[in-house]
Structure 1
Amino acid sequence: MIVKTRHYAIFFSIIIALVLQIMPLPIQVDMYRPDWVLIVLAYWAMALPHRVNVGIAFLCGIALDILLGTALGIHSLALSVSVYVLAANYQRLRNYSVWQQAIIIGLLSALYHLVVFWLQHLLTDVYFQFAYLWPVLTSMVLWPWIFWILRKARRQLRVT
């Protein structure tokens, strides 16, 4: 069972992240929803850059665009840019402590949200509100736990 499961561990974690990204939440909590897909892609892009790269981020972005009902390509471009920045520096980022990585994840999340905002502003004339950046804080706070959970799963399933 482990042999078959380990090949799909990355796929399952991305599916879980997509489900968490669209799961209904109370309106008071929804504005703090972390960027689950970005966090999971960031972990896998740092841990296994030969398996998860900009192409996977683009496909996840297309899936996210379809699930959220946004214009096709908005989340694709934002996730691709964020994962590209991460993948270009993954060797350096792996050597940082988890808390330093959380700050980098916060910066990547801010980049992701600013690209999404910029594209939505060009398409629909949406105006910036500070509330758009609350997920940056929650993504930073959740990074250490997601990192440890995914690392434990990767090691137990021997995903390479």
Structure 2
Amino acid sequence: MRPAQGLGYIYLSLLAALLLTIIPLPYQMTLFRPDWALLVIIYWTLALPRKVSIGTAFVVGFLTDILVGTVLGVNALAFSVVSFIVAANYLKIRNFSMLQQALLVAMFLALYQLLLFWLSHFLTGVNFRPGYLWPVLTGMLAWPWLFWLLRRYRRQLKIQ
């Protein structure tokens, strides 16, 4: 398999995550939607840090800004910060158990949500609501399943 083909499959999974980010849900469910794009970025940064890292995270974050309609650059910066931390510590994180990884992913998601709030607060004056942290819990619960699914995807398609 050529390296470019492997990147195509990675970008396809990121596109699927972006679609899951914007798929319409009932209003009550939108509060609980996990941050799919960030979860997929975290997985690929852990699995293949030389192919998917800060630059890819910035582009996917910028696309998320466009699709969701937030201030341009807010998601891009938050994705980049989380991706940097994951890329800097990927060897340690890989050795953690799935429970430890899920708790660490919850901390990354909480950092992401707090960065989003902080930037939005200074740019548009929004106020903090505890409901902002629901995606942290749902993302933590979705992580083992998403990890298993993307790992299987990566191994079956021999993405390296």
TM-score category, normalised to shorter length: over 0.9
- Residue aligning to 1:20: 20
Aligned positions of 1:1-150 closer than 5 A = 6-150=6-150
1:77–1:7 distance in 2 versus 1, CA, 3 Å: closer
Distance 2:92 2:130 in 1: 31
Opposite residue 109 of structure 1, the aligned amino acid is: L
Q: CA deviation at 1:30?
A: 0.6
Q: CA deviation at 1:5?
A: 5.5
Aligned length: 159
Q: CA deviation at 1:7?
A: 3.9
Percent of residue pairs identical: 49
Q: Deviations along 1:62-110, whole A, 9 cap, x unmatched? A: 1001101111100000000011111110000000011110001000000
Q: Deviations along 1:86-140, whole A, 9 cap, x unmatched? A: 1110000000011110001000000000000000000111010000000000000
Opposite residue 45 of structure 2, the aligned amino acid is: A
Structure 1's unaligned 5+ residue stretches are none
1:73–1:7 distance in 2 versus 1, CA, 3 Å: closer
Distance 2:115 2:7 in 1: 32
Deviating beyond 6 angstroms after TM superposition, the runs of 4 or more aligned structure 1 residues are none
Q: Aligned-pair RMSD on alpha carbons?
A: 1.2
Distance 1:153 1:49 in 2: 17
TM-score (norm 1): 0.96
Q: Deviations along 1:35-74, whole A, 9 cap, x unmatched? A: 1011100000000000000000000011001101111100
SS at 2:38 equivalent: helix
The answer to whether the Cα contact below 8 Å between 1:5 and 1:157 also exists between their aligned partners in 2 is: no
Distance 1:9 1:144 in 2: 20
Opposite residue 110 of structure 1, the aligned amino acid is: A
